Amino acid sequence: MKNIKKFLIASIVLITIGVVGLISEGIVFSLSSPAGTFGTGTNYTFGPGNMMGMMGGFNSGNQNIDVQNISFDQVKSAVEKYLNDTGLQNVKIKEIMEFSNNFYIETVEEDAGFGVLELLLDKTNGAIFPEYGPNMMWNQKYGMHSGFSGNQNENNMTIDEEKAIEIANSYLAKISQNEFAGDEGQKFYGYYTIDTVNSDGAVVGMLSVNGFSGQVWYHSWHGTFIGMEEY
């Protein structure tokens, strides 16, 4: 019995050390299923942490840029260099949104218009990297699991844009009294990303809706919305 107790104590210590290590690396994330989420829908909250090494962080290369006061033009130039250096072809920037924590950059295919990657520029160090969340986990063509999907070169989602917006509004009604889905969403390979707005129509944040399951993933890592530019 004493040996069993010692084994259990040692196991708990090792697990605790492991979890602390994961938290320190920013890898631990939480999943929550708020009441009223559609069907199998789940709201995922992914902590930013230190994900640069895992997702191919890229520094803008200009150490003279004040990232706290970087302009949209500077962000656009840095992201275009990122796209070029990563070898992505036929891709253009559709919009850049500034938040208190980061810049969000939406890229699309020049010919088809489907979303390619959602990128972030870290305001603390100027690093550019693929956004966490749906961009990594749901993107059938450009995400982490694209090689395992037979549908990565076509968009055959069973949920259309109108339904995705309806799902988004149903979800937001459960978590916020003053946040609603925008009138349109950007279609990616496997999901939609939709801006959220307040009752005055001003942008608040964004969320994504899985085009097959209807799962909702709120982008909780941006902070307060500041402004945006469309291209």
Contact between 158 and 212 under an 8 Å Cβ cutoff? The reply is: yes
- What is the CB neighbour count within 10 angstroms for residue 144? 14
b/e code 200-218 from CB counts within 10 Å (16+ = b): eeebbbbbbbbbebbbbbb
How is residue 65 written in tokens? 């840029």
Q: Reduce the DSSP state of residue 209 to 3 states and report it.
A: strand
Q: What is the pLDDT of residue 40?
A: 32
**Which residues have a Cβ under 8 Å from the Cβ of 15 and sit 6 or more positions away?**
none
- What is the CB neighbour count within 10 angstroms for residue 36? 11
Average pLDDT over residues 75-96: 95
| C-alpha 206, offset from chain centre | 9
Q: Which of 13-27, 93-107, 135-149 has the highest mean pLDDT?
A: 93-107
| pLDDT of 88 over the 80 cut | yes
DSSP of 129-176, one letter per residue? EEPSTHHHHT-TTTSTTGGG-TTTTS---SS-HHHHHHHHHHHHHHH-
The model's pLDDT over 94-126, given as tens digits with 9 standing for 90+, comes to: 999 999 999 999 999 999 899 999 999 999 999
Tell me what percent of the residues of the chain surpass a pLDDT of 70.
Answer: 68
Q: What is the pLDDT of residue 64?
A: 56
Q: What is the pLDDT of residue 185?
A: 97
**Can you give the residue ranges of every domain in the chain?**
2-28, 43-226
Prediction pTM value: 0.74
Q: What is the pLDDT of residue 194?
A: 98
The model's pLDDT over 190-226, given as tens digits with 9 standing for 90+, comes to: 999 999 999 999 999 999 999 999 999 999 999 999 9
